[in-house]
Amino acid sequence: MAGMLIAATSAAVASFTGLRGLALLSGWPERLAILLPVTIDAYAMTSARVWLAGVSPRRAIRFARANAIGAITTSIIGNAIYHAAAADLLDVTWPVVVVVGAVPAAVLGLTAHLHAVRTAQDSAPEAPEPVRTQSRTDDELLAAARQADAEHRTANNGRPITRDSLRTALRVSGPKATALRRTLAAEREEAHTN
């Protein structure tokens, strides 16, 4: 644990210094230059936390994973540009200045979107408890699909469950959800005919 703490502290300080230096080279005022590393590293930590906690909707976890990797990559590239410029191997030209200047606005938008996808499930009607298909027979899976359809119809003015909602509720593949939905439709048609 002590080794992890030392490595994390060392990496954070070194990254902070490089990104702050890049902000200064890009024309940021001295008093605001610390905001570049704080913005990037805080977003990397926030995204990684949502990703690795694994308690958000799957869409939010995928988005958080992509953003955590993107923020870490941005930090690495930013540090590399700063060190290359400090060693006179690279000139900081207008494209670098524009990208560095765009970071806060981009992170603000990404943070807002992460919050939206993370909490989207809270406002939706409660879905049936997901089931694992590996432990269910076809008959059990069809019974679960019937139940999910009935609950969806109750919550949505009688509209039948969609393939994607069925896929999510039962945690099945797209083709399996399509087959189950067709079976449900055929059952409804037969009941209507009778």
**DSSP one-letter string for 85-130:** HHTTSS---HHHHHHHHHHHHHHHHHHHHHHHHHHHHHHSPPPPPP
> What b/e string do you get for 159-187 counting C-beta neighbours within 10 Å, with b at 16 or more?
eebebebbbbbbebeeebbebbbeebeee
Percent share of the chain, pLDDT over 90? 45
pLDDT for 127 beyond 60:
no
Give the chain's mean pLDDT. Answer: 86
Query: What pLDDT score does 80 carry?
Result: 95
Residues whose CB falls within 8 Å of the CB of residue 168, separated by 6 or more in sequence, listed in order = 58, 127, 130
**Three-state SS for 30?**
coil
Alpha-carbon distance of 12 to 95, in angstroms, equals: 26
Find the helix packing angle between 94-123 and 58-86, rounded to 10°: 160
Alpha-carbon distance of 115 to 51, in angstroms, equals: 12
Alpha-carbon distance of 178 to 167, in angstroms, equals: 8
Question: Residue 47: which of 19, 86, 74 has the closest Cα?
Answer: 74
* Choice among 46-55, 75-84, 132-141, 152-161 with the minimum mean pLDDT: 132-141
Q: How confident is the model at residue 63 (pLDDT cuts 50, 70, 90)?
A: very high
pLDDT for 193 beyond 70:
yes
SS3 content of the chain, % helix, strand, coil (to 5): 80, 0, 20
